[in-house]
Chains A and B, each alone.
Chain A
C-alpha cells in the first residue's frame, strides 16, 4: 500500500486553525486543506473510482467546506466533518445517477488494470481492462474484485476504503463515520461478504 495513513493535526492546533478560518483567515483553512487533502482524495478516489472525478469531488468538498465552516460542530474534528460533506456531495442521487463517470461503472477495473499511471497530469481516457501482471486467474480475480467493490453501496464503500486505506481501528472508523461500533463492524463484513460472494471460485489455489 502506498502513502501513509490518515495523520491528524494535534487537537489544539486544529482548533486554532478552525477558529482562525472561521474568522476569515484563508491561510488557516488552507493549512487544514494541506493536512487533509491527501486522505480526502484517497477516499474520493475509492468512492468514484476515477481520478478526474475524485479530483473534482475532493475539490468541491473543500470549497464547500469553506462556506460551511461556521457550522462545524465543536464535537467533530475537521477530517470527519469534511468527509461528511464529501459523502453528501457524492451521494447526491442525481449526481450518482447522472454522472457519466458513475453510470459507466467501470471504476477501478479500467484504471487499475492499467496499473499505474493515475497521475492527474497524465490522465488518459480509461480503456477497458488489460490483464494485470500474474496469471489469468489473478487477473480475473482482480477484475471481479474491483467490479464487485464498485457495486457496493456508497456507505459500504467508504467504510471499507477507510479501513483498507487508512487502516483505522474499528472504534475510530465508527467514530469517524458517526456510527455505532456494531454498525461499522456489520458494514465492513457486509461489504467483504458481497465481494467474497462475487469472487468465490476465483481464488484458484489460494
Chain B
C-alpha cells in the first residue's frame, strides 16, 4: 500500500485539501493503520506546539515595551537634532545607495495617496486575519501613483567632475603635505608626542627634542613590530610612558581608568605585557575599535579591522561613526559620545544581518556607557543598559562579554 506523504497529512490537517483530494486522504486514513497513527501523532504534535508556543506576558509587559520603544525612538530623534557636527559630512550618515530629498524623508507622495485612499466605510476598523498584502484598492492606488506621480525614490542627480571638486582635491593635497612637513619638525613632534601615539620615527624625533640625555632607539623585532629600547637609565615613568604610547592597541589615556577597572579577571596584572608582546591581536576590543587619536592616523582597513569586509552601503556609516567616536574620545563629553552612539545606530540600520553587526552593537553600547560615565543621568543609564543587554544577546564569550556584564552591573542592570 502506498502511504500518505507528510505533505498530504500536513495539508489535510490544515484543511487545505478540497474535493477529491480530501476524500482520498480521508478514505486512506480510514483504511491504513500506519497513516492514521501518524496523523494522530501529527495532531498531538500540533496541540503540544500550540500550547507551548502561546505566550502572553500580559498587558503590563506590552505597555512597558511600548514605553521603552517610545523612549528609545524619542532619544534617537533628539540625537538626530544634535547631529549637526560639521566634521562629519552628512552624506556619510545617509545610506549611500538611497538618495533622500532635502526634507530628509523619502517622498511617498502622501497627498496623492490620500486622494486615492479608500473611503472610510464605517466598518469595524480591525479586521481579523486580513490578507497580509495590501488591498486591491491600495495596489490600484500604487499603480496609479507609479504612472502619475513622480518616482518614489528620487534619484540623485549624477554629478560630473567639476572644477570645484578638483580645486578641493588640490587644496586637500597641499594641506596634507604642509601638515606632514610641519609635523616632522621637532617642536611640533615634541608637542604632539605626549598626546598622540606616533610612529617610531616621530617618537624618536620628539624624544630627542625633549630629553637629549635619554635617546630611545627604535628597533624592529623579528615580527617587524617597532618597539622602543632606552639605552640609558630611563625612569620608570619613561619606560611606562614609552610602552603606553607605543603600543598601538593600548586604549587611550582617557579610557585607561575605566579600561583598567573593567579588565577581565584573567588579563588584569599583565595585560600591558601581553599587549606589548602581541603586536596585533586577532580581535579588536571595543576600546581599540573606537577610534583613538592614534587609530585615527592608522588606515582603518588593517587586518584587524572588523569592518573590512563590509559593503559600501554599510561602510560609509561605519566610518562616519568611527569618526564620531574619534571626536568623542578626543573630547570626551556625554553629548559627543551620544552623537557617536547615534552614528553607530545609523550604521546598524544599514547592516542587516551581517556578522559585523555584533561589533557595532558593542561599540554602540560602549558609546552609551561612556556617555553615562561622562555625565551620569538616569536616562543615560537606561539607554546604556538597554544597549548592553542587546549586545549581550549577540555577544560571543570572551573579554568583551565580561566587560559588558561588568558595565551592566555598574549600571545596576
Residues of A within 8 A of B (CB): 1-13, 15-16, 19, 22-24, 26, 29-30, 33-34, 37-38, 41-42, 45-46, 51, 53-60, 62-64, 66-68, 70-71, 74-77, 79-80, 88-89, 91-95, 97-101, 108, 111-112, 118-121, 141-142, 145-146, 149, 160-161, 163-172, 175-176, 185-186, 188-190, 192-193, 195-196, 199-200, 202-203, 206
Contacts and interface: CB of A to CB of B under 8 A. Distances in A.
Given A19-B108, A92-B394, A203-B44, A77 B123 contact: no
A15 B117 contact: yes
Contacts of B123: 10
Interface string B131-154: 111110111001001000000100
A34 B348 CA distance: 24
Contacts of B134: 11, 74-77
A78 to B, nearest CB: 10
B219 interface: no
A11 B46 CA distance: 32
B58 A119 contact: yes
Contact of B48 (A10, A12, A141): A141
B55 interface: yes
Interface in B1-49: 5-7, 9-11, 13-14, 16, 37-38, 40-42, 44-46, 48-49
B268 interface: no
Contacts of A10: 123-127
Contacts of A46: 53
B346 interface: yes
Q: Lowest 8 A-B CB distances belong to which pairs?
A: A193-B6, A98-B396, A189-B7, A176-B132, A203-B41, A8-B130, A94-B355, A112-B52
B390 interface: yes
Contacts of B72: 63, 66
A167 B383 CA distance: 37
Contact of A11 (B66, B130, B348): B130
B142 A74 contact: yes
A37 B66 contact: yes
Contact of B44 (A62, A89, A206): A206
Interface string B86-102: 00000000000010100
Contact of B133 (A22, A77, A119, A141): A77
Given A10-B127, A88-B353, A200-B41, 7 more contacts: A55-B65, A60-B390, A70-B106, A95-B353, A119-B57, A196-B38, A203-B40
Number of chain B interface residues as a range? 35 or more
Contacts of B137: 11
Interface in B310-357: 345-346, 348-349, 352-355, 357
A39 B74 CA distance: 24
A93 to B, nearest CB: 6
B130 A37 contact: no
A126 B268 CA distance: 32
Given A79-B132, A101-B393, A165-B50, A63 B45 contact: no
B69 A33 contact: yes
Given A53-B393, A67-B346, A168 B129 contact: yes
